[in-house]
Amino acid sequence: MIVSSAPGKVYLFGEHAVVYGEPAVPCAIERRATVTVDARTDDHIRVEARDLSLDGFTVEYAGDTGYRPDVDVPEGLVDAAVGYVDAAVEQARDAADAPDAGFDITVESEIPLGAGLGSSAAVVVAGIDAATRELGVELAPEELADRAYRAEYDVQDGQASRADTFCSAMGGAVRVEGDDCRQIDTPNLPFVVGFDGGAGDTGELVAGVRTLREEYDFAADTVESIGDIVRTGESMLADADPESEPTDELLSELGRLMNFDHGLLEALGVSSRTLDNMVWAAREAGAHGAKLTGAGGGGCIVALDETPETRTALRYTAECRDAFRAELDREGVRVEELGPDASARSDAEPNAEGERR
Ligand code: PMV
């Protein structure tokens, strides 16, 4: 048995525009998805989802992944939870050259599903890590990020960027521009998250921006302007000392850019009344800045505030279901627990490809 976990993330800036080759800066946060994988003797997959912000359920199916089990929960929910696990299983089977491997899989997540905090990426990253290790293969984080991206790409019909999966695998703050992904040094940013209890449909929201961008030059310019915001923000971060607390000046400049970014995302039609209300509640409480995070449409906002004011204000905001501080998590995917067989394997020397068998 192997247990791996991987963090969720907030976007400091750049969601949506990253789909069109602009840079984005997502930051891993200390909220994790934890996946437990036990190899089976047959080729069945059994998935138990405990708390992906939904009531738990268990499904079991045989043979090929892609089969949709007949369970009494809404189909979208099964697709969301099981689809990503399926894709992770396919990647793990491929990486370990074990096409018929079967697993018992338990997913436990502290990250609300589809709410802009990268829950699916965290499940896929932790799932591939645990399943490959269970098969005796250890992937480098960069390869794990790449396989997780391919898994998300398949589930999301090609609408995924590398941002969420790279951030979740590597941890910390990262910069993603097309296929160019790297970690960046940042001071500890005081993120506060507000969650409206809802979720957006990423595919639909991405398609909406795509249509606007094709139809209107000014929408294409808006996407480019988001890229300009990211470039401005990352040069501010590059000048900051990652070892020290962020200065007031840095926080207010980043906050101003976040506000600008939110305005442009709003113009592109991906905000919502509840997200806007939470953004305004944060700003009025004295946050340096606030914006939606992720695909939008519903879900979460992220604000910068080192004081407790924003969180308190959000908790008194009717549209806000939950508000919490989200520390930057400098650690990406990690093993939480090794079963007896696996710990014996992990003492073995890696082979030439960096794999342990
Ligand atoms: O809502 P999330 O966490 O899946 O983020 C989606 C971010 C987009 O830029 C809209 C799409 C993507 O894959 O980058």
CATH number at residue 103: 3.30.230.10
Q: Is residue 351 part of a domain?
A: no
User: Ligand 1 pocket check: which of 9, 10, 18 to mutate, most ligand atoms within 8 Å of Cβ?
Assistant: 18
How far apart (Å, rounded) are the C-alpha atoms in residues 184 and 187?
Answer: 10
Does residue 101 belong to any structural domain of this protein? yes
Give the ligand 1 atom nearest the CA of 119: 3
Domain-embedded: residue 130:
yes
- The domain total for the chain is 2
Q: Are residues 11 and 127 in the same domain?
A: yes
Phi-psi region of 157 (alpha: psi -120 to 50; beta: other; left: phi over 0): left
- Considering the domain architecture, whether residues 210 and 177 belong to the same structural domain is answered as no
| The pair of three-digit structure tokens given for residue 274, joined into one six-digit string | 């509840």
- pLDDT at residue 53 is higher than 60: no
Closest among 162, 128, 152 to 335, alpha carbons compared: 128
- Written as six digits, the tokens of 259 are 């506000």
Domain membership of residue 357 (yes or no) is no
Higher pLDDT, 32 or 84: 32
* Minimal-distance CA residue to ligand 1 atom 13: 160
State the Cα angle at 289 between 283 and 295, rounded to 5°: 105
Task: Give the tens place of pLDDT for each residue, 213-242.
Answer: 999 999 999 999 999 999 999 999 999 999
Checking if the pLDDT of 326 tops 50, the result is: yes
Annotated catalytic residues are 164
147 domain residue, yes or no: yes
Residue 231 sits in a domain whose CATH number is 3.30.70.890
Counting from 1 in the atom list of ligand 1, the atom nearest the Cα of 156 is: 13
Give the pLDDT of residue 348.
41
13 and 67 housed in the same domain: yes
Q: Is the pLDDT of residue 345 over 60?
A: no
pLDDT at residue number 257: 98
- List the residue whose alpha carbon is closest to atom 14 of ligand 1: 161
Range of the domain at 272: 191-326
Domain check: are 36 and 126 in the same one? Answer: yes
Q: Are residues 339 and 217 in the same domain?
A: no
- Kindly state the average pLDDT of the residues 173-198: 96
One domain, residues 200 and 157: no
- To test the pocket of ligand 1, the residue of 113, 161, 302 to mutate (highest count of ligand atoms within 8 Å of its CB) is 161
pLDDT at 137 over 80: yes
Considering the domain architecture, whether residues 156 and 271 belong to the same structural domain is answered as no
Atom of ligand 1 nearest to the CA of 209: 10
Q: How far is CA 151 from CA 75, 96, 269, in A?
A: 20, 15, 27
Q: To 10 degrees, the CA torsion angle through 160, 162, 163, 164? A: 70
**Same domain membership, residue 316 and residue 214:** yes
The sign of the dihedral angle between the CA atoms of 195, 199, 200, 202 is: positive
pTM, two decimals, is 0.89
Looking at the structure, tell me whether residues 121 and 233 fall in a common domain. Answer: no
Q: Which residues line ligand 1 (CB under 6 A)?
A: 15-16, 18-19, 116, 118, 160-161, 163-164, 202, 206, 294-295
Classify each residue of 102-132 as buried b or exposed e, where b means 16 or more C-beta atoms within 10 Å of its C-beta.
bbbbbbbbbbbbbbbbbbbbbbbbbbbbbbb
User: Do the beta carbons of residue 105 and residue 39 sit within 8 Å?
Assistant: no
